[in-house]
Structure 1
Amino acid sequence: MAALRPGSRALRPPLCRSFSGGVGRLARERGTERRDAASSRVSRFCPPRQSCHDWIGPPDKYSNLRPVHFHIPENESPLEQRLRELRQETQEWNQQFWANQNLSFNKEKEEFICSRLQAKGSVLRTESGQRAALDAEEMADFYKEFLSKNFQKHMCYNRDWYKRNFAITFFMGKVALERMWNKLRQKQKKTSG
């Protein structure tokens, strides 16, 4: 796993820092939260406790998505916590959708290949033990049929995906404003005190 670190100064405005979780130490209760979350995921990687960045893991074998372990700052505000939880919920929702979709796709693809090979009178394995395959034109029929059959499901997914991302972006803006407001208040306290 690798830590998310902004590569240039252009990526350092407060909005980007709010996405990466900001700087701070990990909360003490994070260890149990990680263990609970890790038991439901395929990857059991746990970033170092002293880390202050989000970590991206290897692709999940079912969804092909890379899981993110979100950093929890010690002094996380309620707004920052809501943003992090919304991001985690969205990641889990996305993970579940694509794991189910890929499972369905692979199962239907196998059934299609078997039925086409049987219709041709071909065997599933060649004499050398390799799997028999269909040509690109025959597979194009499957892809077209699969996409047509799942069109409505993909439309609902896209609608929900955009709703969730707009909500995340809205909260990122609120967190960035909250952080700027807190910095401004700290500067005012230093100048007045």
Structure 2
Amino acid sequence: MSSLSSSSSNVRMDRRFDWVGPPDSVSKIRKIMLRRVDNESELERQYRAAREELNQWNSDFWAEHNQLFDRQKSEFVEKKQKELGRLEHVSANELSEFYRDFLNDRHVAMMVYNKEWYRRNLQLIWPALKVNVVRFFRMARR
């Protein structure tokens, strides 16, 4: 076993497994610490790096999306409360209109995200297959 550090603390990891952390407070995406074996080949390192990059890209997208959502929702609620002239809660119907409008405004961005997410994941299929063949033969030699 080895000690790998994360941004919040040092964590002692079992190198046989990937570790999944708690959801990020902004992106709501769980951080994944991918295992690093002692005899990691260059192919395995490249594959792991590509997966880590994809996970970071995904987390960055959702962090930006969620921050935008929170900011626009706060602005919407503030505006509605000023219109009401009192400090009452905005109704569920009014919030549903906000949610609908927000998603409609983000439709193109979400379509671009989905297309890119699928493209990036599909690009990992061939490297994953090659890495699993390497790992199979490594295990068979034991």
**Structure 1 length as normaliser, TM-score?**
0.66
Aligned residues: CA RMSD: 2.1
Aligned residue in 1 for 2:120: 164
**Residues 48 and 168 (structure 1 numbering): CA distance in 2 closer, same or farther, change over 3 Å?**
same
Q: How many corresponding residue pairs?
A: 142
Residues 58-96 of structure 1: per-residue CA shift (max 9 Å, x gap): 111111111011211110011111110011001111111
Assess if the C-alpha contact under 8 Å between 1:47 and 1:55 holds in 2.
no
Amino acid across the alignment from 2:107: F
Alpha-carbon spacing, 1:170–1:133, altered in 2? closer, same or farther (3 Å): farther
Q: Which has the larger radius of gyration?
A: 1
Structure 2 residue 53 is the aligned partner of structure 1 residue 97: no
Q: Relative CO higher for 1 or 2, CA cutoff 8 Å, sep ≥ 6?
A: 1
Shift of 1:165: 1.2
Quick one: which of 85, 93, 99 aligns to 1:121? 85
The answer on whether the counterparts of 2:26 and 2:67 sit within 8 Å (CA) in structure 1 is: yes
- Equivalent in the alignment of 1:66: 30
Deviation at 1:183, TM superposition (A): 5.5
Residue number in structure 1 paired with 2:89: 133
Runs (5+) with no aligned partner, structure 1: 1-24, 124-131, 188-193
Quote the Cα distance in structure 1 between the aligned partners of 2:133 and 2:18. 21
Instruction: Tell whether the 8 Å contact from 1:112 to 1:142 is kept in structure 2 after alignment.
Output: yes
Distance in 1 (alpha carbons) for counterparts of 2:100 and 2:14: 49
Match of 2:10 in 1: 46
1:111 aligns with 2:75: yes
The amino acid of 2:136's aligned partner reads M
Q: Alpha-carbon deviations, 1:4-34, whole Å to 9, x = none?
A: xxxxxxxxxxxxxxxxxxxxx65xxx85xx4
The structure 1 segments of at least 4 consecutive aligned residues displaced by more than 6 Å after TM superposition are none
**Larger strand proportion, structure 1 or 2?**
2
Q: Which runs of 5+ in 2 are unaligned?
A: none
The CA deviation at 1:182 is 4.9
What is the distance in 2 between the residues matched to 1:145 and 1:118?
Answer: 20
TM-score, length-scaled by structure 2 = 0.87
How far apart in 2 are the matches of 1:139 and 1:183? 55
